[in-house]
């Protein structure tokens, strides 16, 4: 669980990209690599030194959001006291909500026939979000749905929001061990759809639109091949599960 919780993009990497002070605005750009990412807006005025953290691309100056190996994990203080704890939620209940949310994302992804990388991305976004916001103030299920929908687009396997809602509707009945019934497209459905769209916007805003996720799975496969252990099914499965923090 800890690996997912501390997945890339902790508070140091969550700052929203914004205009450089004194800029004139008018365009936006972003660049990312394995060593970092920068995004922002505004043309720096001539004659003034660039502000700290600014990135120059061509003749324009952009505010920066840096993601490196040094800040890709959540700091210990963020793990010790979370926004949910600040709202009065005990650590055990919060951990259970995190587990349930990630399980929902995984189960929904399977039913939606999403690639595994999309499910993993959705889980990371879910964990990142709830290290900036509280479970008490934001619905775990709504954020889970929003993360599935967002991750499907990030990983270029988009699914309709209606399909996401339908899948979660079915999963709710399965969790309660009830016979699933068709989802009625009434006003309640419309309200839920709007809430999911709002939740997705909130996730993007809180993460500063930094939704790039570097998963460890490809690296694990490479190391296993170098060690000539790729045929050891037990080791492969154990490594894969450990990389997902389970």
For 9-24, the three-class secondary structure string (H helix, E strand, C coil) is: CCHHHCCCCCECCCCC
11 band by pLDDT with thresholds 50, 70 and 90:
very low
Name residue, tokens 């252990």.
Answer: 229
Question: Which tens digit of pLDDT belongs to each residue from 212-231?
Answer: 888 877 788 888 888 888 78
Question: Which tens digit of pLDDT belongs to each residue from 187-212?
Answer: 999 999 999 999 999 999 998 888 88
Coil, strand or helix: which one is 37? strand
Q: Which residues on neighbouring strands pair with residue 31, listed in sequence order? A: 38
Q: Name all domains of the chain by residue range, CATH numbers in brackets.
A: 17-62 (no CATH), 83-206 (1.10.472.10), 216-246 (no CATH)
**pLDDT at residue 12 is higher than 60:** no
Distance of CA 225 to the CA centre of its chain: 29
- What mean pLDDT do residues 138-167 have? 95
Name residue, tokens 């309709």.
Answer: 160
User: Tokens in use for 166?
Assistant: 């339908």
- What mean pLDDT do residues 66-83 have? 70
Cβ-contact 196, 149 below 8 angstroms = yes
User: Tokens in use for 116?
Assistant: 């595994």
Report the sign of the C-alpha dihedral through residues 188, 191, 195, 196, in that order: positive
Count Cα atoms within 13 angstroms, Cβ side, for 38: 13
Cβ-contact 186, 139 below 8 angstroms = no
User: Tokens in use for 39?
Assistant: 């995004």
């Amino acid at each position: 669980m800890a690996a997912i919780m501390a997945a890339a993009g902790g508070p140091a990497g969550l700052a929203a990209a914004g205009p450089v002070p004194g800029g004139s605005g008018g365009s936006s750009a972003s660049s990312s690599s394995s060593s970092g990412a920068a995004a922002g807006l505004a043309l720096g005025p001539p004659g003034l030194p660039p502000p700290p953290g600014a990135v120059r691309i061509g003749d324009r100056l952009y505010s920066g959001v840096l993601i490196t190996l040094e800040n890709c994990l959540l700091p210990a203080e963020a793990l010790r006291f979370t926004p949910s704890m600040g709202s009065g939620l005990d650590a055990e209940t919060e951990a259970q909500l995190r587990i349930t949310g990630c399980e929902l994302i995984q189960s929904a992804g399977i039913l939606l026939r999403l690639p595994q990388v999309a499910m993993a991305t959705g889980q990371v976004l879910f964990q990142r979000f709830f290290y900036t916001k509280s479970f008490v103030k934001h619905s775990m299920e709504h954020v889970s749905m929003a993360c599935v929908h967002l991750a499907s687009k990030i990983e270029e396997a988009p699914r309709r929001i209606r399909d996401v809602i339908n899948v979660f509707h079915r999963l709710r009945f399965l969790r309660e061990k009830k016979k699933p019934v068709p989802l009625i497209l009434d006003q309640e459905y419309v309200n839920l759809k709007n809430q999911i769209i709002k939740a997705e916007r909130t996730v993007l805003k809180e993460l500063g639109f930094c939704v790039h996720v570097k998963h460890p799975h490809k690296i694990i496969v490479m190391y296993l091949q170098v060690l000539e252990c790729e045929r050891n099914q037990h080791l492969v499965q154990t490594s894969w599960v450990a990389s997902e923090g389970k």
